[in-house]
Amino acid sequence: MDGSGGAVELRETHRLTGHADRAWALAWNPNPGSGVSPVLASCGGDKTVRIWKRAPDGAWQCTDVLEDTHNRTVRSCAWSPDGKLLATASFDATTAIWEYSGGEFECVATLEGHENEVKCASWSPSGSLLATCSRDKAVWIWEMQPGNEYECVAVLQGHTQDVKMVQWHPILDVLVSVSYDNTIRVWADDGDDEWHCVQTLTESDNCGHSSTVWSISFNQKGDRMVTCSDDRTLKIWDTSIDLSQPNTGEGHESWRHVSTLTGYHGRTIFSAHWSSEDVIASGAGDDAICLFVEEKSSMVDGPSYRLVLKKEKAHDMDINSVRWCPQDPRVLASASDDGTVKLWELQGNILD
């Protein structure tokens, strides 16, 4: 209940089964084509990626299984902004690029260079750059070349432990990475194609996390970011300052902490995602999904966020990924160690 009249409910609408091991990550195609139903990719410990589409009768079907390319867990997947390419990051130390053409997916490139497990891949807003991160503590930036060639244009060293996730800012060519070293790092190009860490958000200096940071998500405008952690908190950051512009000297403006959401999950929060309607979803090791919105009346002391609902036992095991559908912002997908992908519909007026 949201305490303002109508009940808000997160209703399970579909359960997608097929992965033979834990389901690690999800990605909705941002541009499936005009008149086409939403398309969801999921990946998992069974070394495969599954593509799910909604049939005319409303049922969801697995239309493609991308296999025989990775020989270990596929840890994450990411569609290019134009929806034509899918990048898959694997514990086999490679990232594969898949293209959908002629009615099927083909692996058109394999990116090698990381020393060990690749944890995440993320496309820049223009689609010309792809970032990958790894347990080898490095972040690589790849530039797409003609003919499905990818050139590594930067290797970003700075994290002291496993890098869990990379995510581009939705508008700027600014990259964010989060790590087992408890920090959030912000990277930008100095204008001469040299990439540098322009800010590090830490517990001691920035009210940052006290344990492993697992996930990052920006709101649609890019002026807010949410991160979540093994410290069982979500943190909201003001990211309205353009860090892609080179600044020199001490004391220049930077991204800053605005709010910490604590006490809502009893175990590690593995995933957080911001919907186009400004609802934050989180999924955690307590098998629960929480939804938060900004408290509009509280701007006196800066923004604060309130819990709208907590869905206990959303899965039978840890929830590894939650993702809102871009075409239908009331639809949420979740992936779990229980091997299932679930689709949920948010019902009721959440913003009362």
pLDDT for 298: 57
Between CA 72 and CA 78, with CA 73 as vertex, the angle to 5 degrees is 120
Q: How many structural domains comprise the chain?
A: 2
pLDDT in tens, 176-214: 999 999 999 999 998 888 999 999 999 998 899 999 999
Residue 36 shares a structural domain with residue 100? yes
Residue range of the domain that includes 348 = 1-17+288-352
**What's the pLDDT score for residue 299?**
60
The per-residue b/e assignment along 337-352, b for 16 or more CB within 10 angstroms, e otherwise, is bbbbbbbbebebebee
Q: What is the pLDDT of residues 254-307, one digit of tens each?
A: 999 999 999 999 999 999 999 999 999 999 999 999 999 998 775 666 788 999
Please tell me the predicted confidence (pLDDT) of residue 5.
44
Contact predicate 285/318, CB 8 Å: yes
CB 317 within 8 A of CB 305: no
Residue 176: both structure tokens together: 């964010």
Is residue 269 located within the same domain as residue 307?
Answer: no
Q: Are residues 105 and 253 in the same domain?
A: yes
Whether residue 46 sits in one domain with residue 180: yes
Q: 284: which 2 tokens?
A: 């955690």
Structure confidence at residue 2 (pLDDT): 37
Structure tokens at 267: 């175990």
One domain, residues 96 and 226? yes
Specify whether 257 is located in the same domain as 113.
yes
Same-domain check for residues 339 and 236: no
Residue bearing tokens 């003001």: 238
Q: How far apart are CA 338 and CA 333, in angstroms?
A: 14
**For the chain, which ranges sit under pLDDT 50?**
1-5, 248-249
Which pLDDT score is estimated for 6?
A: 63
CATH number for the domain that contains residue 118: 2.130.10.10
The confidence score (pLDDT) of residue 352 equals: 57
Asked if residue 349 and residue 252 are part of one domain, the reply reads no
- Same domain membership, residue 233 and residue 91: yes
Q: What integer pLDDT is reported at residue 246 of this predicted model?
A: 64
Nearest to 174 by CA among 189, 164, 159, 161: 189
Same domain, yes or no: 305 and 198:
no
Q: How far apart are CA 214 and CA 179, in angstroms?
A: 7
pLDDT at 302: 73
